[in-house]
């Protein structure tokens, strides 16, 4: 086994205990990687902003995004208002900070739900194969026949709601097939390894083999793709909201702010610059984090 692999199965195939490789070279390089440290720091900061927007929004003393004054409509930066005001006279900085919660929440919810579906269905299909694998593969083909954005657009137009949960559910509906196909293919290779065969020969149940051996050794590629998926989903939510079928007011999100800025950004460019800047940095951070994880979890990529 190469030095870059993070985990190796123990010599006891029934117990399935996992031990850390003595030479965790991949993880060592990851911890020393400037790209990973930068991405992890930015992701941590943005997650903190999403969890505690009131704390960050109040740094300049005006943390209420709904306290507006039409007399200040479209004005630029002012003392206590570093990003200026939107067209309703609301503090733009407070709105951008509070917009992180909805946008990042959708990204995380969709990724977690899609990953959970992928682990369950992908493991069952890859482990048992035969008719179960055939049915799931055909189902995946059906869903992947719909473009991700087009499918979500059609569903949200047909069933308008505008809530975080409805948007997340819709994006999950079209997001799980890619992750499931990856998990299935990884399980197909892991189930043929010697320690799985030995565990089965010693009387380990299928459930024990899947939980203790197969999933821990097959989930690494899924983790990498999940990190990349968070950024993709955040962009998808913003695009759908910009098109008017995603989140609706009174929700606060970066997509809504970009949608409201489309008619006034030429005369008031700050309405577009700051939300798009936060959106871009967040998405790029998750993508960079996923690339860094791939370097650590997949030795073949080095």
**3-class SS letters over 163-197:** CHHHHHHHHHHHHHHHHHHHHHHHHHHHCCCHHHH
pLDDT score of 26: 56
Alpha carbons 96 and 252: distance in angstroms, whole number: 8
Is the pLDDT at 222 greater than 70? The verdict is yes
Residue carrying the six token digits 């969709």: 110
- Specify the pLDDT at position 98: 93
Lowest mean pLDDT among 25-29, 97-101, 189-193: 25-29
Distance (Å, rounded) from C-alpha 214 to C-alpha 188?
Answer: 9
At residue 78, φ and ψ (nearest 5 deg) are -145, 165
SS3 34: helix
At 180, the pLDDT band (50, 70, 90 cuts) reads very high
Strand partners, 78: 81
Residue 25 in this model has a pLDDT that exceeds 70:
no
Q: What is the mean pLDDT of the segment spanning 117-131?
A: 90
> Is residue 239 pLDDT above 70, yes or no?
yes
φ, ψ (nearest 5 deg) of residue 7: -130, 145
What is the predicted pLDDT for the residue at 76? 83
62, 91 contact by CB (below 8 A): yes
- Is the pLDDT assigned to residue 10 strictly greater than 70? no
C-alpha distances (whole Å) from 263 to each of 85, 246, 267, 268, 272 are: 15, 19, 9, 9, 10
Tell me the backbone φ, ψ of residue 71, rounded to 5 degrees: -65, -20
CA 146 from chain center: how many Å? 20
Query: What pLDDT, on the 0 to 100 scale, is given for residue 151?
Result: 87
The confidence score (pLDDT) of residue 27 equals 61
User: Which of 220, 18, 238, 19 lies closest to 119 in space, CA to CA?
Assistant: 220
- C-alpha distances (whole Å) from 123 to each of 58, 61, 187, 192, 225 are 46, 51, 6, 13, 16
Rounded to whole angstroms, the Cα distance separating 302 from 298 reads 8
Tokens linked to 269: 């460019």
User: What is the per-residue pLDDT for 264?
Assistant: 83
- pTM of the predicted model, to two decimals? 0.83
Phi, psi for 133 (deg, rounded to 5): -65, -40
Start-to-end Cα distance in the chain: 15
Burial class from Cβ neighbours inside 10 Å (0-12, 13-18, 19+) for residue 263 reads exposed
The span from the CA of 263 to the CA of 272, in Å, is: 10
Q: How far apart are CA 245 and CA 39, in angstroms?
A: 31
pLDDT of residue 56: 92
Does the pLDDT value for residue 291 go beyond 70?
yes
The pLDDT assigned to 171 comes to 93
- What is the mean pLDDT of the segment spanning 213-235? 89
Residue 169 in tokens: 């559910």
Cα 300 → chain centroid: 24
Q: Which residues pair with 91 in a beta bridge?
A: 85
Q: Is residue 299 very low, low, confident or very high in pLDDT (cuts 50, 70, 90)? A: low
């Amino acid at each position: 086994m190469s030095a870059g692999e993070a985990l190796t199965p123990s010599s006891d195939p029934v117990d399935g205990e996992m031990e850390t490789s003595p030479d965790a070279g991949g993880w060592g390089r990851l911890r020393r990687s400037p790209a990973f440290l930068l991405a992890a720091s930015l992701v941590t900061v943005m997650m903190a902003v999403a969890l505690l927007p009131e704390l960050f929004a109040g740094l300049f003393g005006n943390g209420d995004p709904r306290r507006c004054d039409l007399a200040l409509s479209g004005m630029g930066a002012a003392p206590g208002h570093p990003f200026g005001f939107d067209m309703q006279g609301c503090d733009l900085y407070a709105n951008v900070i509070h917009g992180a919660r909805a946008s990042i929440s959708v990204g995380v919810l969709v990724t977690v739900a899609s990953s959970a579906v992928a682990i369950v269905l992908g493991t069952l299909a890859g482990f048992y194969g035969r008719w179960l694998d055939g049915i799931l593969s055909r189902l995946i083909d059906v869903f992947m026949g719909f473009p991700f954005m087009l499918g979500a657009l059609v569903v949200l137009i047909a069933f308008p709601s505008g809530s975080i949960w409805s948007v997340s559910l819709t994006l999950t509906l079209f997001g799980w097939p890619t992750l499931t196909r990856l998990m299935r293919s990884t399980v197909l290779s892991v189930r043929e390894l010697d320690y799985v065969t030995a565990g089965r020969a010693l009387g380990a149940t299928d459930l024990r083999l899947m939980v203790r051996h197969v999933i821990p050794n097959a989930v690494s590629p899924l983790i990498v793709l999940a990190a990349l998926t968070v950024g993709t989903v955040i962009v998808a939510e913003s695009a759908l909201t910009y098109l008017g079928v995603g989140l609706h007011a009174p929700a606060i999100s970066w997509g809504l702010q970009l949608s409201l800025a489309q008619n006034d950004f030429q005369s008031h460019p700050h309405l577009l610059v700051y939300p798009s800047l936060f959106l871009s940095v967040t998405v790029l951070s998750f993508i960079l984090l996923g690339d860094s994880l791939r370097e650590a979890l997949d030795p073949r990529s080095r």
